[in-house]
Amino acid sequence: MSFRGLFIAVVLSTAMIVSAFVLQSKRPRMEVDRPTADLVKATGKCADCHRHETSAVVHEFEMSRHAKAGVACLDCHQPTKGQEPYDHKGFTITRKLTSNNCRACHEKQVDEYMRSRHAAPAWAAVAGTADFTPEQVAFSEAIHKGAVERPPHPLTAVEGMAAINKGCRQCHDVGKPNPDGSIGSCTACHARHVASVELARLPETCGQCHMGPDHSQLEIYHESKHGVLFNAQRPFMNLAARPEKLTTEDMPLPTCATCHMSGLEGEKFTHDVTQRLSYFLFAPVSERRPNYEAGRRNMKAICLKCHTNPKIQEFYGGAEGVVRSTNKLVKEADEIIAGLRKDKLLTPEPFDEPIEYLHFDLWHYGGRTAKHGAYMGGADFVQWHGYYEIVSKMAELKKSAEEIREKAGKAEGGPKPALAETEAPKSGELPADVFPPSAKPGGEADASNTPK
Ligand code: HEC
Ligand code: HEC
Ligand code: HEC
Ligand code: HEC
Ligand code: HEC
Ligand code: HEC
Ligand code: HEC
Ligand code: HEC
């Protein structure tokens, strides 16, 4: 070969090598990265191939405590009892994972969750009993009487399936029953692949569902001193601390999880979010829960890790006052509606007359929000989104009831009171439409029983 030929060959091959390097360096990072030897050992071929196919899944998994603890893809993805096997690249996996895929390793958490209103009651609220086995109904009814054995909320019929599937069910699927006989999938607060307590402790995680005008917990939290200070001090906190070891040094401020679930400084950590509650605050008229005393004790034990007893007593006293006074207002509105129904001035169907929406907004937005604001430190929600909504809606409701009576020619001699005290309906006569039996008024939230 001539010198010229040799020169061209050297230049060409150098150029090829350089461009190969340039090209290689320009390829997306996940295509050139190889999984670490440990990860390959733990996850085998799944991670290797899925790094190309669905890189985010593998990356999320790599960040998890599961990856560090040597849990493999197949530990979760293999079919358990009752799950349909699916042949996949030489492996047998299941395409639909449920809480049963976590149960083998986290039985305690699954059992606690099953006892909470996040399980069957959440789904029954929007879908009734139809999707549950009789055993599931019996199990949950024994704990939450009337919360599963009930028809779907009547709004579902008014709005139709398109709205229900993309609306109600997206939040209420936290308790959806699965074909394998289990309930839920555990991913609402932990996500699929990071499976982290840090994520579960963030207010926004709960706020995926706990927000909006009918249950403004996230907004209330962000307005509260707790929320404001949490946001300011978050960089100094250790949100990944193990639940059994969580101290006020890790988290000097509470998030939703701290008050409702965490095992702060030796308190029992629980997946039963019902355990620390004393009232059915979500109901139009809030009764005490069957575990009223224990619920208060459990929650106060958490407050007392950071506050003094007199402060907490005072706080609870004020909040119970709000429960009593909103109950009174909501009952007044209930009686106006019941009076119209009794006089056959309204159809028996719910949600087909404007005044029924007014009544619903009064307690469902105003009433509930005032109570939630009082218990979680949101003054604006007690006042402007709460009581103000109740009293202004009440004025509209009274006017509208009067007009209905006038129109029906029953208002001779000027507007009369909708219903005299003595005619007030008993709790059982309240329209079945507005609320599930579990939450019907009846047991009064009377002062006699309130600790001074
Ligand atoms: C040789 C490459 C390869 C291997 C090995 C592999 N996968 Fe996949 N996997 C894919 C591809 C490609 C898809 C997307 C298939 C599609 O779009 O239909 C997929 C899809 C999936 C899905 C979604 C299935 C669905 O239809 O809903 C899951 C779950 C899954 N893989 C898990 C795993 C697990 C767990 C392993 C290891 C036991 C594994 N994969 C091994 C390539 C692979
Ligand atoms: C802690 C249990 C767990 C582990 C470990 C796990 N997965 Fe998953 N994975 C899930 C769950 C839960 C889903 C959601 C399944 C469903 O929709 O029913 C899922 C879904 C997927 C999907 C479908 C994602 C989509 O959005 O289409 C793929 C692909 C997948 N996993 C791959 C993997 C691979 C690869 C690994 C190992 C690197 C792995 N998983 C490890 C629990 C796990
Ligand atoms: C996927 C949606 C979703 C997420 C995420 C979620 N919840 Fe819920 N939660 C619900 C639904 C729906 C209900 C109402 C259940 C019912 O019908 O009584 C509920 C009810 C509750 C209740 C009342 C239980 C009772 O007995 O009345 C508490 C307390 C609660 N959740 C706390 C939390 C906390 C704390 C978090 C975050 C760590 C959280 N939730 C995350 C959907 C969710
Ligand atoms: C953004 C998420 C979300 C959507 C959408 C949603 N809910 Fe809820 N729902 C919740 C949460 C969270 C609670 C718990 C409120 C509380 O305890 O303060 C709840 C409580 C309830 C309750 C009272 C608790 C019970 O078990 O009786 C009923 C009834 C209910 N929802 C029905 C519905 C219906 C019907 C729809 C659709 C028309 C719907 N929800 C849409 C999140 C949602
Ligand atoms: C094969 C057993 C196994 C399976 C299956 C499994 N896990 Fe885990 N999980 C573990 C181990 C081991 C740890 C780590 C405990 C430790 O570090 O001491 C863990 C830790 C966790 C943590 C705590 C993470 C943290 O940040 O501290 C969560 C949350 C979790 N798992 C959720 C799940 C969920 C949800 C599923 C089902 C989708 C699941 N796990 C399936 C074994 C498993
Ligand atoms: C400082 C502690 C604290 C924090 C933080 C907190 N809560 Fe609460 N929460 C309470 C108390 C106290 C009650 C009323 C308990 C009772 O019934 O005695 C309550 C009530 C509730 C209820 C009402 C249940 C019903 O009966 O309708 C829900 C749902 C709820 N909280 C969710 C949340 C969510 C979601 C967050 C975060 C965005 C949050 N909480 C933050 C203390 C807290
Ligand atoms: C409502 C949100 C929520 C749901 C739903 C949920 N978790 Fe959790 N989980 C949490 C929170 C919050 C923590 C951390 C508690 C704390 O702060 O001490 C946690 C912690 C854990 C841990 C860590 C325990 C440890 O000792 O390290 C495991 C494991 C776990 N959850 C498994 C599950 C399983 C399995 C399911 C399904 C049955 C599930 N979780 C459903 C919120 C949730
Ligand atoms: C992890 C610690 C922690 C927990 C648990 C906790 N708090 Fe707080 N709380 C704080 C801190 C810190 C502040 C801010 C005090 C300041 O202004 O310096 C605060 C502020 C408050 C305030 C407003 C300031 C004031 O003193 O008027 C109220 C009210 C309050 N907490 C009530 C409660 C109640 C009720 C509970 C239980 C349901 C509770 N807290 C649980 C740490 C906590």
267-281 pLDDT, tens digit per residue, is 999 999 999 999 999
pLDDT value of residue 1? 54
Tell me the Cα Rg of the chain.
29
Per-residue pLDDT at 442 exceeds 50: no
Contacts of 195 (CB under 8 A, 6+ apart): 64, 65, 66
- Ligand 6 is surrounded, with C-beta below 6 A, by 203, 206-207, 210, 217-218, 221, 226, 254-256, 259-260, 277-282, 295-296, 299, 375-376
3-state SS assignment for residue 280: coil
Q: What are the CB-based long-range contacts (under 8 Å, 24+) for 388-396?
A: 389/361, 389/362, 389/365, 390/326, 390/329, 390/330, 390/362, 390/363, 390/366, 391/329, 393/333, 393/358, 393/361, 393/362, 393/366, 394/329, 394/332, 394/333, 394/362, 396/358
Nearest to 125 by CA among 383, 336, 449, 438: 438
Per-residue pLDDT at 113 exceeds 60: yes
Per-residue pLDDT tens for 318-359?
A: 999 999 999 999 999 999 999 999 999 999 999 999 999 999
Given a contact cutoff of 8 angstroms between Cβ atoms, the answer to whether 182 and 131 are in contact is: no
CA distances from 272 to 115, 178, 198, 410 (A): 6, 20, 18, 52
How many angstroms is it from 99 CA to the middle of ligand 1?
20
Please spell the DSSP secondary structure of 300-337, one letter per residue: HHHHTTTS-HHHHHHHHHHHHHHHHHHHHHHHHHHHHH
pLDDT value of residue 181? 96
> Is-above-0.95 flag for pTM?
no
> For ligand 3, is residue 209 a contact (CB within 6 Å)?
yes
Give residue 170's region: left, alpha or beta (phi > 0; psi -120 to 50). Answer: alpha
pLDDT value of residue 409? 85
Least confident of 82-91, 238-247, 425-434: 425-434
Q: What average pLDDT is seen over the chain?
A: 87
Least confident of 14-23, 134-143, 236-245, 323-332: 14-23
DSSP 288: B
How many angstroms is it from 205 CA to the middle of ligand 5?
18
**Number of other CB atoms surrounding residue 368 within 10 Å:** 24
3-state SS assignment for residue 112: helix
Euclidean distance between CA atoms 218 and 207, whole angstroms: 5
Work out the pLDDT band at 43, boundaries 50, 70, 90. confident
Least confident of 32-41, 63-72, 345-354: 32-41
Nearest to 239 by CA among 65, 66, 102: 65
pLDDT value of residue 321? 98
Q: Which numbered ligand comes closest to the C-alpha of 435?
A: 4
pLDDT value of residue 447? 33
Closest CA to ligand 1's atom 43: 49
Least confident of 10-24, 241-255, 372-386: 10-24
**Nearest atom, ligand 4, residue 147 CA:** 26
99 by Cβ neighbours in 10 Å (0-12 / 13-18 / 19+) ranks as buried
The more confidently predicted of residues 272 and 33 is 272
**Nearest atom, ligand 7, residue 244 CA:** 26
Per-residue pLDDT tens for 279-328?
A: 999 999 999 999 999 999 999 999 999 999 999 999 999 999 999 999 99
Euclidean distance between CA atoms 95 and 104, whole angstroms: 18
In the chain, % of residues over pLDDT 70 = 81
Given a contact cutoff of 8 angstroms between Cβ atoms, the answer to whether 251 and 258 are in contact is: yes
Least confident of 26-30, 54-58, 83-87, 149-153: 26-30
Per-residue pLDDT at 41 exceeds 80: no
**Number of other CB atoms surrounding residue 33 within 10 Å:** 12
> For ligand 7, is residue 189 a contact (CB within 6 Å)?
yes
Least confident of 154-168, 223-237, 326-340, 398-412: 398-412
- The ranges assigned to domains in the chain are 26-79, 107-185, 319-410
How many angstroms is it from 123 CA to the middle of ligand 2?
24
Average pLDDT over residues 16-43: 51
pLDDT value of residue 21? 53
Cα of first residue to Cα of last residue in the chain, in angstroms, is 105
From 259, 291, 327, mutation site for ligand 6 pocket: most ligand atoms within 8 A of C-beta: 259
pLDDT value of residue 38? 53
The more confidently predicted of residues 7 and 400 is 400
pLDDT value of residue 450? 34
Per-residue pLDDT at 451 exceeds 80: no
E strands in 114-256: none
> For ligand 4, is residue 167 a contact (CB within 6 Å)?
yes
